[in-house]
C-alpha cells in the first residue's frame, strides 16, 4: 500500500537492484565474516557501479547506534554490543581478498563507549592500510559530541578522506536528527577536523526532499565551505520504511535541480560536488579523492 500523503515516485527513481557474480561474491564474503556493507544492507542502486570499480562501504562499530535519527534505518540501542576486537583484521583481509582499491568506513554513534569508538575506528583504518598499502581509505564518522581528542585519534590513523555529514538544513535539523546531534555541532566538528587534519580532504553531505527551500540549501553550502569542507555530495532523501519514526518524503527533487546545485557548489569553491537523486555519501568516492589530489589539497 502506498504511503499516505507521499508524492508519487517519479520515473527517474525507478531502478532495479544490481546483481551478478561479483555482487554475489562480495555479499557472500562479507556475510561469512560478519561484516556489514552499507551498499548491500541499504539496497543501494549504485552498488554494482561502485563494487565494479573496486569501491565498497563498510559500517563498523556494530550494527546498532546509540542515537535515533529520523532518516536512518540503523537500529537504535542505548547499549549496543561491544565492538568486535577482530573487526579490523577481518576488514583488512576482506579488502585484500576482494581486490578493493578504495574503502569507505562509516560508523554508528557509540556514546556508550569511553572514547565513543575512536580507538576502534583508528585500528580499522590502520589495519586496512597496513594489509593493502596502495588502498585508499575514507572515513565517514560521527560528531563524537565535539570531543577533539577523539577527532585527533581518528585523524592520526591517516585516512585519505575524512567525512562528517551535515545531513540537512539548519531549520530542519532538530526534527530530522537525534537530539544529541545538531547543525552547529556538525559545523564545529568539521571545523575541528580541518584544524587537526589540515592536509586531508574534508567531505560532507546533504539530503534534499525533507521540506527545505533553496535559500536554506544555499546557506548550508556556504556554511560547509566556511568550515573548510572540500567535497560535497547532495542526494534525494528516501524514507527507509513506513515506520512512524522515519520521516516522510516531502518532495522528489528533479535531476536538473541536482545539476544546478552541483554547479552552484563548484562556484562556491568546493573541489568536487556529486549531486543527483541516487547520490549518497560514498558515491564516486574514488573520483572525489582524485579531484582533491588534482586540486592540490593532498600530495
More confident residue, 279 or 223: 223
* pLDDT confidence of residue 2: 42
Residue 76 is given by DSSP the state B
The CA distance from 289 to 298, in Å, is 9
pLDDT digits (tens, 9 = 90+) for 172-214: 999 999 999 999 999 999 999 999 999 999 999 999 999 999 9
* 19 CB-contact burial (10 Å; exposed 0-12 / middle 13-18 / buried 19+): exposed
DSSP strand pairing (136-140 vs 161-163): parallel
For residue 134, the tally of other CB atoms under 10 A from its CB is: 6
Q: Which residues pair with 167 in a beta bridge?
A: 206
Q: What is the mean pLDDT of residues 34-63?
A: 69
Architecture of the structural domain at 17-295: Alpha-Beta Barrel (3.20)
The CA distance from 37 to 28, in Å, is 11
Query: Does the pLDDT at position 66 exceed 80?
Result: yes
The CA distance from 29 to 27, in Å, is 6
Q: Read off φ and ψ for residue 236, nearest 5 degrees.
A: -85, 130
Nearest to 222 by CA among 182, 270, 186, 184: 270
Query: Does the pLDDT at position 143 exceed 90?
Result: yes
Q: What is the mean pLDDT of residues 38-55?
A: 57
* C-alpha distance from residue 155 to each of 95, 149, 207, 280, 296 (Å): 21, 10, 26, 23, 19
What residues contact 144, with CB distance under 8 A and at least 6 apart?
Answer: 116, 118, 150, 151, 189
Laid out side by side, the sheet with 36-37 consists of 36-37, 55-60, 102-107, 136-140, 161-163, 202-208, 231-236, 272-275
What residues contact 147, with CB distance under 8 A and at least 6 apart?
Answer: 116, 118
* pLDDT confidence of residue 60: 94
Domain boundaries, the chain: 17-295
Q: Read off φ and ψ for residue 46, nearest 5 degrees.
A: -90, 0
pTM, to two decimals? 0.88
Residue 31: alpha-carbon gap to chain centroid: 21
Would you say 251 and 243 are in contact if contact means Cβ atoms under 8 Å apart? no
Query: Does the pLDDT at position 236 exceed 70?
Result: yes
* pLDDT confidence of residue 12: 83
Would you say 117 and 110 are in contact if contact means Cβ atoms under 8 Å apart? yes
Would you say 231 and 288 are in contact if contact means Cβ atoms under 8 Å apart? yes
Amino acid at each position: 500500500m502506498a504511503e499516505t500523503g507521499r508524492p508519487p515516485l517519479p520515473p527517474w527513481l525507478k531502478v532495479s537492484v544490481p546483481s551478478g557474480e561479483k555482487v554475489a561474491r562480495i555479499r557472500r564474503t562479507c556475510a561469512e565474516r560478519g561484516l556489514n556493507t552499507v551498499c548491500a544492507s541499504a539496497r543501494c542502486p549504485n552498488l554494482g557501479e561502485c563494487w565494479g570499480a573496486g569501491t565498497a562501504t563498510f559500517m563498523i562499530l556494530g550494527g546498532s547506534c546509540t542515537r535515533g535519527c529520523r532518516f536512518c534505518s540503523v537500529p537504535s540501542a542505548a547499549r549496543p554490543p561491544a565492538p568486535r576486537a577482530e573487526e579490523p583484521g577481518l576488514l583488512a583481509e576482506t579488502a585484500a581478498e576482494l581486490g578493493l582499491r578504495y574503502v569507505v568506513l562509516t560508523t554508528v554513534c557509540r556514546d556508550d563507549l569511553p572514547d565513543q569508538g575512536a580507538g576502534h575506528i583508528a585500528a580499522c583504518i590502520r589495519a586496512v592500510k597496513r594489509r593493502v598499502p596502495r588502498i585508499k581509505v575514507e572515513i565517514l564518522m560521527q560528531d563524537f559530541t565535539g570531543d577533539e581528542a577523539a577527532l585527533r585519534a581518528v585523524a592520526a590513523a591517516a585516512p585519505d578522506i575524512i567525512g562528517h555529514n551535515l545531513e540537512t538544513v539548519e531549520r530542519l535539523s532538530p526534527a530530522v536528527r537525534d537530539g544529541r546531534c545538531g547543525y552547529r555541532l556538525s559545523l564545529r566538528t568539521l571545523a575541528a577536523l580541518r584544524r587537526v587534519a589540515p592536509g586531508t580532504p574534508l567531505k560532507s553531505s546533504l539530503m534534499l526532499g525533507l521540506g527545505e527551500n533553496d535559500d536554506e540549501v544555499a546557506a548550508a553550502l556556504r556554511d560547509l565551505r566556511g568550515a573548510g569542507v572540500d567535497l560535497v555530495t547532495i542526494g534525494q532523501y528516501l524514507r527507509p520504511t513506513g515506520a512512524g519514526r522515519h520521516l516522510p518524503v516531502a518532495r522528489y527533487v528533479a535531476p536538473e535541480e541536482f545539476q544546478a546545485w552541483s554547479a552552484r557548489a563548484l562556484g562556491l569553491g568546493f573541489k568536487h560536488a556529486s549531486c543527483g537523486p541516487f547520490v549518497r555519501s560514498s558515491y564516486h568516492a574514488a573520483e572525489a579523492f582524485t579531484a582533491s589530489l588534482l586540486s592540490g589539497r593532498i600530495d
